[in-house]
Structure 1
Amino acid sequence: MFIVLGGSPSGRATLTTVDSTGTLVDTATVSRAELITEVARRERDHPRWVWEDTSQWYPSLIKAGITVERCHDLRLCHRILRLADAARTTELAAAPPNSWDDQPVEQQTGSGTALFDDLADLAVPSDSSDTPDQRDPVAEFALQRASLDAVAEINPEAASRLQLLLAAESSGALIAEEMRARGLPWSTAVHDAALTELLGPRPIFGGRPAKLEALSDTIRGLLQTPGLNPDSQQDLLRALKRAGLSVTSTSKWELRSQKHPVVEPLLEYKKLSRLNSANGWAWMDAWVRDGRFHPEYVVGGVVTGRWATRGGGALQLPAQVRGAVRADEGWTLVVADAAQLEPRIIAAMSRDEKMAAAGRQGDLYQGLVDAGVVDTRAHAKLAMLGALYGATTGESARLMPKLARAYPLAIGLVEHAARTGERGDQVRTWLGRSSPRPGPEWQSAQRAAAESESTAVDERRARQLARDWGRFTRNFVAQGTAAEWALCWMAGLRLRLRALADDRGEPHLAFFLHDEVIVHSPSHLIDAVTDAVTAAAEDAGRLLFGRFPVNFALSVVAVSSYDQAK
């Protein structure tokens, strides 16, 4: 049974009941106060709640002490179906852009390269003047169900996978809001002590902490530029060039290649300056309340399906502050990390049993060494990174042929994805999330290269853009499917944790980072939580890949603070 919520979470709301055949059963209109009571009453029947946006409806329910088991997030599901190659002939995909295509403002983080970060903005643009209140969730839900039915008529397996993806994405939306509301346990005293040790005492009237100011003076002296502001990239670059350094940027990679006394203090300044700006005292004041860090996740914020954040940098907690993540008294942090997830994903997608066997004992990279594919674990990691990101030069590229000979199915899968992208075609994840098509710049370059009067410059540019897009699609299939596995893992784990709740508390998901989760658990439930984490990972593997013998190895530790997990 489905219950579609419409109207406004802060005003009057409508609850429309829809049965499994899509037939409207009844509709009720309630006030905001009545809505809380009505949701609590109806949740006992385990419906799937259908609403425009989980981030709009769910927070008020959580605040009232209500958590729901299942939902269907219309905005997230619309985006998936709009781009899905399997649904390209449906009415939803063919419809003009409208307000359901609008995307929230989000901060991109952690997707690997600038190319992948930039693609997060490639949602279908909306030129509609509709407002959210004009959206009809019942009509949109019917349209989405019709899209799945249309896909099922042509390809039942594709429809089944898409349905699983929509359910997993919607479950992720519930988890994101629950983690934001509960927060990650955080000790401001430990955080302050770490900052003071690394940066010096907190400045009373703003400005740079003492150690940063001392490093600034050192840098100015070594570059003989008394008025230099090391935070100004343009001024710093000019000063470096005047000092004889042959650099084109102030990146740490370029600086490390230089031999000059200023390099070491400048690199230290950059590291500490980033800590101060990204996770310093101002960050703590803004994001930590009542002993909890409350991140704002953006589910599917990157086009591969990975999450992003609207702020707070939850996907980039540096090692220097992880000691501040501390379990409450009588509670424990259970930290679980999926090892070498993406290589295992491509092994499962391609049905490459030899590569799957390499990871059977836990460390897939060491498995490559034991199988005689490469000579060292470091080389195994380099070779696999080359496969996933399309290395064409260096040691990684040199090792790639060995990997391709040993595992032709797995490497063939990512190579095929790369060639598909180079042609400008879409690729898809295991469950059917499809990559966007390249933008106007790519299209223009390919047209210019195909013209009879094209120049060598035109052709080189077209080839470069094609290769860049091929690198994106190569990684899209692996990263996107890994994100799907992680969603299914968390969705199953969430339900298992709820079942473990007793009168001493409920273990719950408190943090998520691509292939890593933290569960905050009453200490007496550690063993049960550890079993739940492992069982949920096994369930996610079977849910996606059936009986294929791939092992999604986990590292699971119980600690009192996050820094102890590494």
Structure 2
Amino acid sequence: MDLVIAAAGEAVEVVAVEQGAPGQRTRVLLADLPAWVAAQPVSTRWVWADSAALYPTLLRAGVRVRRAVDLRLVRTLLRRADAVRHTDYARAVPSSWDAPPPGPDVAGHPDQGERLFDLTVHRFGIDECVVEHLAQQRCLAQTDDDGRLALLCHAESVGGLVAQELNSAGVPFSVEVHDAQLTELLGTRDSYGGRPAVMAQLCGEVQAALGAPRLNPDSPVDLVGALRRAGLDVSSTRQGELEQLDHPVIEPLLRYKKLSRLHTANGWAWSQAWVRDGRFRPDWVAGAVVTGRWASRGGGALQLPRQIRAAVRADPGWRLVVADAAQLEPRVLAAMSGDRRMAAAAAGADLYQALVDQGVVPSRQHAKIAMLGAMYGATTGEAGALMPQLQRAYPRAIDLVESAARAGERGERVRTWLGRTSPLPPSSWREAQDAAQRPGSGPGAEKRARQVARDWGRFTRNFVVQGTAAEWALCWMGHLRRLLDDEPMAGAHPELVYFLHDEVIVHAPAAVADAVADAVREAARAAGQLLFGTFPVEFPLSVAVVDSYDQAR
């Protein structure tokens, strides 16, 4: 049974939906909601506007739900999905359910306007939620895709639950260890908010080497000016450009810039803002990137630098089970394309070395360059030179990404394995193509049109692979979540605390840590089977049971 739920002042309203029709209506005070939800059958499927709105209230009371439909996440999928483009739901005019482009800056999509959806603009009443849920179910019933899009909608909704569970749990974090790491790397903290001791010393060395005693090395404009006055021909302060220069300032400047990034992104101010009660607490946003990858609102959870990972440590008597999927995207490409020779290369722990063993390329480094070039569109230079070898060895795999790239260049949409569909190109693409078609446009406009087309083709090339890898990861986490809830763990309650594209961390009592590691591996196997059936592709994991995150490497 589906229970549609929406906030209504100091209460929530609930409508039961069975066999596509609304039924009994119930009103529950917010104060009574956790106990009321906990009393419902575990098979109940909860339906709400978005998991971020109501689920945290339940989690704070220690109540978890097994299944849910996140109407916002599902709508985002269905409104764009190619498999239901013919339906009234997909063709309907935009409504308040269709959020405007917001939000935090998340990499992964060349069109700045279509990366994220908003979770906060509108609060929906119970009738709006019921109508939307029924419309989504009718839309899904009109697909003819062997249930793939329905599976994606389910996995995306489970991801919405997991994101809030991660937010609730937090990442175990030692402020004391973090402080010691910062002091060792940056020097003693300045009590007035200035540069720590080591950074202050390096700043002085940079100023002395450039003869600029008042220089602020954190200002790119001031730094470029000082470097030029010292006779250095620079256009930016990028590391790659600075490393090409021969001058006494370069060594202390590069050291300073590295420490400055750490101080700014993950220094003492960061821990004061994002660490509470012994937990690092970012705000995870499921499905935030157009390919289906996650983002975090603040805290930089997707970029925890190695210098501070020792501070991510288990509580006394607990362990961290850290797992990451080796070379996930190439393995996904092999499975999507049905390329059996590439799948055979994926049978071992190191797919790149397998390419060497198969005689495709001369070295592991060449294999990595070639494979990443194929998936991300770096088809010139060294990667381009290796492409013919990949094409001969794995024609089905390479044809898949090449076809996706050509579709993008033509302005067409592409879809992932389960049916997440790419957006249409941005207005800049259309404008460039139109300009090139005008009489007398000239070679400049034609060159611009080709470049814009190639750029979008690189996006669609990677969209199909990165998006399918995100689907695998959702299924991995969803199955792991079920195993951690269902498998007997000697009365303990392991908690999923971190997720990064192809990596998870589970915080587990030491007595069951090995059992949790087995569950993580089983979930990966099940995710591959759920998506790709019996096709012989493997998704091996690197799994470590450790006391702190840095020990997993």
1:357 aligns with 344
Mapped to 2, the partners of 1:245 and 1:354 lie a distance apart of 51
- 1:521-536 mapped onto 2 (5 Å cutoff): 521-536=508-523
From 239, 250, 253, the counterpart of 2:226: 239
Mapped to 2, the partners of 1:446 and 1:386 lie a distance apart of 26
| CA offset digits 1:74-102 (Å, max 9, x no partner) | 01111111111112222222122222122
Contact 2:101 2:118 in 1 (8 A): no
Amino acid at match of 1:139: V
1:3 aligns with 3
2:428 aligns with 441
1:73 aligns with 70
Contact 2:7 2:126 in 1 (8 A): no
Mapped to 1, the partners of 2:23 and 2:401 lie a distance apart of 47
1:84 aligns with 81
2:128 aligns with 136
Amino acid at match of 2:493: E
From 228, 249, 257, the counterpart of 2:215: 228
1:32 aligns with 30
Structure 1 residue 350: Cα displacement = 0.3
- For structure 1, which segment, 556-565 or 394-403, has the greater mean C-alpha deviation from structure 2 after superposition? 394-403
- 1:172-251 mapped onto 2 (5 Å cutoff): 172-251=159-238
Instruction: Tell me the SS of whatever aligns to 1:456.
Output: helix
| CA offset digits 1:172-204 (Å, max 9, x no partner) | 111111111111111111100000000111221
Structure 1 runs not aligned, ≥5 long: none
Contact 1:339 1:552 in 2 (8 A): yes
From 401, 420, 425, the counterpart of 2:407: 420
Is 1:394 aligned to 2:381, yes or no? yes
Structure 1 residue 122: Cα displacement = 4.5
Is 1:22 aligned to 2:14, yes or no? no
Instruction: Tell me the SS of whatever aligns to 2:39.
Output: helix
Mapped to 2, the partners of 1:117 and 1:194 lie a distance apart of 36
C-alpha change, 1:318 and 1:110, in structure 2 (3 Å) is farther
Structure 1 residue 125: Cα displacement = 9.9
Structure 1 residue 24: Cα displacement = 1.7
2:43 aligns with 46
Mapped to 1, the partners of 2:141 and 2:133 lie a distance apart of 12
C-alpha change, 1:117 and 1:205, in structure 2 (3 Å) is farther
Mapped to 2, the partners of 1:53 and 1:148 lie a distance apart of 19
Mapped to 1, the partners of 2:122 and 2:501 lie a distance apart of 34
Instruction: Tell me the SS of whatever aligns to 1:327.
Output: coil
Mapped to 1, the partners of 2:386 and 2:353 lie a distance apart of 15
TM-score by length of 1: 0.94
1:121 aligns with 114
From 278, 285, 295, the counterpart of 1:291: 278
Structure 1 residue 225: Cα displacement = 2.1
- RMSD of aligned residue pairs (Cα, Å): 1.9
| CA offset digits 1:429-469 (Å, max 9, x no partner) | 10111111111111101100011121211111111111111
Instruction: Tell me the SS of whatever aligns to 2:508.
Output: strand
Structure 1 residue 65: Cα displacement = 1.1
Structure 1 residue 109: Cα displacement = 4.4
Is 1:146 aligned to 2:132, yes or no? no
Amino acid at match of 1:221: A
Instruction: Tell me the SS of whatever aligns to 1:332.
Output: strand
Structure 1 residue 499: Cα displacement = 2.0
Instruction: Tell me the SS of whatever aligns to 1:260.
Output: coil
Amino acid at match of 1:85: D
From 346, 366, 370, the counterpart of 1:383: 370
Contact 2:111 2:426 in 1 (8 A): no
Instruction: Tell me the SS of whatever aligns to 1:259.
Output: coil
Amino acid at match of 2:10: G
Mapped to 2, the partners of 1:248 and 1:223 lie a distance apart of 17
Structure 1 residue 502: Cα displacement = 4.7
C-alpha change, 1:335 and 1:117, in structure 2 (3 Å) is farther
Instruction: Tell me the SS of whatever aligns to 1:542.
Output: helix
Contact 2:521 2:541 in 1 (8 A): yes
Structure 1 residue 247: Cα displacement = 2.5
C-alpha change, 1:349 and 1:215, in structure 2 (3 Å) is same
Count of residue pairs brought into register by the alignment:
552
Mapped to 1, the partners of 2:118 and 2:485 lie a distance apart of 39
Mapped to 2, the partners of 1:99 and 1:119 lie a distance apart of 21
Mapped to 1, the partners of 2:15 and 2:513 lie a distance apart of 41
Contact 1:106 1:298 in 2 (8 A): no
Instruction: Tell me the SS of whatever aligns to 1:550.
Output: coil
Structure 2 runs not aligned, ≥5 long: none
Structure 1 residue 134: Cα displacement = 8.7
From 101, 106, 114, the counterpart of 2:98: 101
1:486 aligns with 473
Mapped to 2, the partners of 1:195 and 1:469 lie a distance apart of 41
C-alpha change, 1:556 and 1:400, in structure 2 (3 Å) is same
